[in-house]
Amino acid sequence: MKKRIFIPVSVGFAFLNIFFGGLTIAILASFILWLMGKIPGVEPITAPFVVLAIIFLLYTSIRFLLCFKIHLRQNDVITFGDGLPKFEKIQYRCTVNYKYIQSIAIIASEKNSKNQSIQLAWVSSSMPKKYLEFTLINTKKKQRMCINYYNKKQIIKMLKYINENMQEIGNENKLNIDEIMQDWYIYGGYNREDLQLKRGEKIRKKTKKQKAENIINQENKNIITYIDSEKTIDNSEKSN
């Protein structure tokens, strides 16, 4: 049984941590310079607010680093939630036992992991987020784990470990990882079935348009042929 802890590693996640870390360092440096008297004109009453801002940014940076961790334990896979307030929460605590996994899919949704609308949606939280969606045996309820800040290699590795742990625990369902990863590049909240429907609609419209163009072209050819034949008849009559 493989036990692993996965921490998000991606360009977007790194950028967020660099941003928060850089902002924290900048405010902290400014605060130290102010204490040394290098920044005149700043009232002492602002010092508590600066300290609170530094604490908040440090907390936010650490939270972003740790909140989307996914633990592969002996009998289950678990994520402990993102630590955000309820009105802006993306990931709730979620535990999935290997024994009850029927299938896994990658989906995108603007909602949180409980498939609920996010009440206070910032720009980042209102955008579609990627989830691993677990379909469980003998239940209609599905479980979601946010993988928005993970890279592709991490998810493939995670799915392989989950699949191995499922087999070891006696779950006969086998994950088709190649098929699951076909949805890695989903966008706009559409899953693969939705995209196939949209592509199918485009193909149908294109086919109808092509058929109409073919009919018009054929009619034009018939007209040209008719005109040519009329000209030929007229020329033959004149020569006679």
Torsion of CA 3, 5, 9, 12, to 10 degrees: 130
User: Which of the listed ranges 92-101, 113-122, 176-185 does the model predict with the highest average pLDDT?
Assistant: 92-101
Instruction: Give phi and psi for 141, each to the nearest 5.
Output: -70, 135
Per-residue pLDDT of 8-61, as tens digits, reads 776 666 676 677 667 767 777 776 776 666 656 556 666 666 677 767 766 666
Instruction: Inform me whether the pLDDT recorded for 124 exceeds 70.
Output: no
The pTM of the full predicted model, rounded to 2 decimals, is 0.62
Instruction: Inform me whether the pLDDT recorded for 212 exceeds 90.
Output: no
Per-residue pLDDT of 154-182, as tens digits, reads 999 999 999 999 999 999 999 999 889 88
